[in-house]
Amino acid sequence: MRSFARRFLSRSAPLSLAVLFAACSDVSNLTQAPPQQLFTTPTGLVTANPPEIFSGAGDIATCSSNNDEATAKLLDNLPGKVFVIGDNVYPNGTTSEYNNCYGPTWGRHKARTYPSAGNHDYNTSGASGYYAYFGAAAGDPSKGYYSFNLGAWHVIVLNSNISKISGSAQNTWLKNDLAANQNLCTVAYFHHPLYSSSGGSGSGGVTYSSVRPLYDALYAGGADLVMAGHRHFYERMAPMKPDGTKDLVYGTRHMVVGSGGIGGGTVDNKFPTSEAANGDTRGVLKLYLYDDSYAWKFIPIAGKTFTDSGSTACHGVPGSTTPPPPTVSASLSTVSAAPATVTAGSGTATITVTARNSSGQPVSGATVTLASTGSLNTLTQPGLTDASGVATGTIRSTVAQPKVISAVINGVGITQTDTVTVDADVPAQLFFAVQPSSEAAGAAITPAVQVAVQDQFGNQVTNATDDVTMTIGFNPTGGTLSGTTTIAAVGGIATFSNLSIGTAGTGYKLHADATGLAGVMSAAFNITAAQSGVSPSLSTVTAAPATITAGAGNVATITVTAKNGSGNPISGATVTLASSGSDNTLTQPAATTNASGVATGTISSTRAEPKVISATISGIGITQTATVTVVPGASAALGFTVQPSTTAVGATIAPAVQVTVQDQFGNRITNATDNVTLAIGVNPGGGTLSGTNPVAAVGGVATFNNLSINAVGTGYKLTAAATGLTGVTSAAFDVTTASAGISATLLTGGNDLNNLSTYTTGSISPSPNKLVTIAVSGVRSYGASPSPTVTGGGMSSWTEVASVVYDPEGAPLRRMTVYRAMSAAPGSGPITITWAGSQSNCQWIVVQWDGVETSGVNGAGAIGQTGSNHADASNGLSVSLSPFTNSRNAAFGVFAANGGLPEITPGAGFTELNEQTSNESKASDLQAEWATFLNTIGATWSNKNGAALGIEIKAKP
């Protein structure tokens, strides 16, 4: 364990000199020396040792962008040493890319660079291009990790692309290096961050758990700072433990500096300890390494304004003696903002935080972290409080809304908050707040079309009163727009309540204009031919009561009122009712509409579910519908909703057997909690049933997750029983001798956000007579490309299995395709994906399948049935295949969505194989999953255009 006596001795002896020299108040001046060449550290220590300057970033260079030149120019003006944190050149880290793309920019600082490697460097086998370029500076090519001292600091460079687990060569070396370290202050860096904001499902950012053993060792060894890249943005987190909880005494501060030049990323899904982040500013991090502390400043490239700065004292290993942080009063400390109102985009409010203790005295040197409600905010953090306990930050935003500003001081949440109201900028454009909908010829378009006046950022300008004029922007059949076509905005909204078009046609579009503002075209809509004078929008359908109990004696009355375009009743019209759902008894109206335009029918059902009732009047479909909810009757019986399936002896019966508490019609009783007991009803093998039994119903369903039978037999049946309910016997199933099934192995996965027509995957080495599949997704801005050509990967040929286009359904821009290959003597190497035209980006996932049918040519015998699906603005998709005839067959699902994050969640029972996202403005997310003997393949996401492919993989006989 390191000794820290030197830290406190060095502080106490020279403190009397501190009154002679001004302490640094701006981190940009922390290296400014007084005339006597003494330096004041952020802790107040006066020392003759200047800070070491250590600057750099990760995710840097590509020949298709000039951003690395912009960041290299920043280094040109910075003294000291340079660090790089991996993915130093894209896309594959070859020697040619290092010489031609990295060399002309960051390469001019090569002589003072201490490098680390990223996953793109390892796209070239063994990262040979990286080690050849940096030579001895990169360390042993078989390791890629090393350490050195920089002034009073110990610097550790690790390799997150090789084994990191406890007991590995790298982890053992790291622990020994930390144990031998005699320096107070320690910094480490490598490519993959344990935590970072953005990505993942739910809230709290994304975690790369594979590097946790490195963080565990660094925290235990007293490391002060860990830097990583991989995420293409800048982010600073509070000092914390490896489990992600704050530790302001011994915690290791995390910084993500993936801002070296490659495209930015989103940081809207914040990790709980995140203190500052920016996803669209490239730049470098400058570190000032003092004897007992450090300071930092993020320096943006020319034309950008985001920056971040602060300072922190070094600490010892956990448990060593360190000064406690100042005590802060949550109620006496204050937060204030000025001005209280700013303009979107251009206005900035200053946030002043004053830290006070329980006696009301100011607390200096406290760490202040600001937070704000709302979205698209640029929040600059204050850093440490001054002698008056004051620290200031700023906020600006492009979203017009109130922003509630809160603060945390030394980990203490401050009671007081303040509010900055962001107002919209000046009017700049129009936007269809309510799009025109399809309507009959001559009928008023309902709901009323609404056009909003917005500023350049899409905020509604609530005080705008501009005159908005509506015209037909696309006129497929020469129609005429009637109604009031120029409307003055009220509260920033122009409402057109009586527009109509007199000529039927498909694909009409409206165009809105206003003087001095950018106009806008509406979405397409249809005008249908008017028939029988019936107005689809003014006629009505109602149901009473809205809820009935299942059973023939319980009915709801459906009332239909026929009206013409003027809202007057139509008598003598024929009304036909229809209902969604099943097991319905729908009684049609006995006569035509009466003098009031009314006709009635009834509905009853034995199926508990919502029934959407629609009507046609004289052949015209009515816009309005009514819903009758049928609820179950009393609990009466049990039913197997998931039957036991054939399984191997001693193996868990899958999918899990489910027994439902039902009414007399078979409807599930959703509030039932009965205890259900299973037993073997027919026992051909004399087996014993094991597993949790009985099971209490939850939501009316008892789920048996771990049943098994210990004897082979043909025609087993289970019985289900519950007190007071009619029991039930399952379908017959077999218990077979255990045999091997299908297994799936990810060979490689990747993505490339560059505009290319040819993409190259990582190298693969397939096994003989194993099925290999590759799922490929691409997007083109002017229409989906045909399926690409796939070659290489050690296979003589690749065969297309299934393909689907999507986004949007009417004019798709994206294609997703799955290919297969199989060889008795495969080679190895990367796979080349060649599209007919340049794509905005491309993703791929390559999987090897063991235990599959090997008949046919090129893996044909291993492919059973396939299916596809696609939809706009959906919350997920599923593909239903016919039931599998072999319980060992596998379901393979591939899903794509136009999302910018890894946000596709596997369906129940499925295991995710891989997920690849584009991380750029043309968002694309590709995911693959699999399961055994599940023929309904599904996945979920949140409100995205997406597509799905489902494939049955056949097991070896």
pLDDT digits (tens, 9 = 90+) for 229-257: 999 999 999 999 999 999 999 999 999 99
Q: Residue 849's beta-bridge partner residues?
A: 744, 771
Q: What is the pLDDT of residue 264?
A: 76
Residue 351: both structure tokens together: 């946030």
Q: Is the pLDDT of residue 21 over 70?
A: no
Average pLDDT of the segment spanning 36-54: 77
Measure the CA dihedral 737/772/911/168, to 10°. 100
Residue 110, burial from CB neighbour count under 10 angstroms (0-12, 13-18, 19+) = middle
Q: What is the pLDDT of residue 738?
A: 57
Average pLDDT of the segment spanning 175-192: 95
Average pLDDT of the segment spanning 82-110: 97
Q: What is the pLDDT of residue 652?
A: 85
Distance between terminal CA atoms of the chain? 61
Residue 652, burial from CB neighbour count under 10 angstroms (0-12, 13-18, 19+) = middle
Q: What is the pLDDT of residue 321?
A: 64
The CA distance from 68 to 62, in Å, is: 8
Is residue 936 a contact partner of residue 926, using CB atoms and an 8 Å limit? no
- Model confidence pLDDT, tens digit, residues 769-828: 999 999 999 999 889 999 999 999 999 999 999 999 999 999 999 999 999 999 999 999
Residue 830: both structure tokens together: 């990367």
The CA distance from 296 to 384, in Å, is: 12
Q: Poorest-confidence range of 564-568, 576-580, 911-915?
A: 564-568
Q: Is the pLDDT of residue 9 over 60?
A: no
Q: What is the pLDDT of residue 714?
A: 95
The CA distance from 400 to 342, in Å, is: 9
Percentage helix, strand, coil, to 5, in the chain?
10, 45, 50
Token pair 């107070």: residue: 184
Is residue 388 a contact partner of residue 354, using CB atoms and an 8 Å limit? yes
Q: Poorest-confidence range of 19-33, 182-196, 399-413, 913-927?
A: 19-33
In 470-584, which ranges are continuous DSSP H helix? none
By three-state DSSP, how is residue 178 classified? helix
Is residue 889 a contact partner of residue 863, using CB atoms and an 8 Å limit? no
My answer on whether omega of the bond before 339 falls inside 30° of 0, hence cis, is yes
- The pLDDT-based confidence of 740 (bands split at 50, 70, 90) is low
Q: Is the pLDDT of residue 105 over 80?
A: yes
Other C-beta atoms lying within 10 Å of the C-beta of residue 749: 21
Q: DSSP states of 621-650 as a string?
A: EPS--EEEEEE--S--EEEEEE----EETT
The CA distance from 386 to 720, in Å, is: 72
The side-by-side arrangement of strands in the sheet containing 743-752 is 743-752, 841-850, 771-779, 814-821, 799-806
Cα–Cα distances in Å, from 75 out to 54, 337, 564? Answer: 10, 35, 75
Q: Poorest-confidence range of 130-144, 525-539, 604-618, 789-803?
A: 525-539
Cα Rg of the chain, angstroms: 34
Residue 704, burial from CB neighbour count under 10 angstroms (0-12, 13-18, 19+) = buried
Strand spans (E) along 731-810: 733-736, 743-752, 756-760, 771-779, 789-792, 799-806
Q: Is the pLDDT of residue 607 over 90?
A: yes
Q: DSSP states of 568-587 as a string?
A: -B--S--EEEEESSSSEEEE
- Model confidence pLDDT, tens digit, residues 836-859: 999 999 999 999 999 999 999 999
Q: What is the pLDDT of residue 532?
A: 57
Q: What is the pLDDT of residue 892?
A: 97
Residue percentage of the chain with pLDDT more than 90: 81
Mean pLDDT of all residues belonging to the chain: 91
Q: What is the pLDDT of residue 654?
A: 86
Q: What is the pLDDT of residue 199?
A: 58
The CA distance from 402 to 400, in Å, is: 7
The CA distance from 563 to 598, in Å, is: 9
Q: What is the pLDDT of residue 212?
A: 96
pTM above 0.75, yes or no: no
The CA distance from 258 to 90, in Å, is: 13
Is residue 389 a contact partner of residue 355, using CB atoms and an 8 Å limit? yes
Closest CA to 870 of 937, 924, 808: 808
Q: What is the pLDDT of residue 46?
A: 66
H or E element at residue 70: helix 67-76
> Which amino acid is located at 772 in the chain?
V
Q: Tell me the helices (H) and strands (E) count for the chain, helix number first.
A: 6, 72
Angle at alpha carbon of residue 576, lines to 574 and 578, rounded to 5°: 170
Q: Is the pLDDT of residue 32 over 70?
A: no
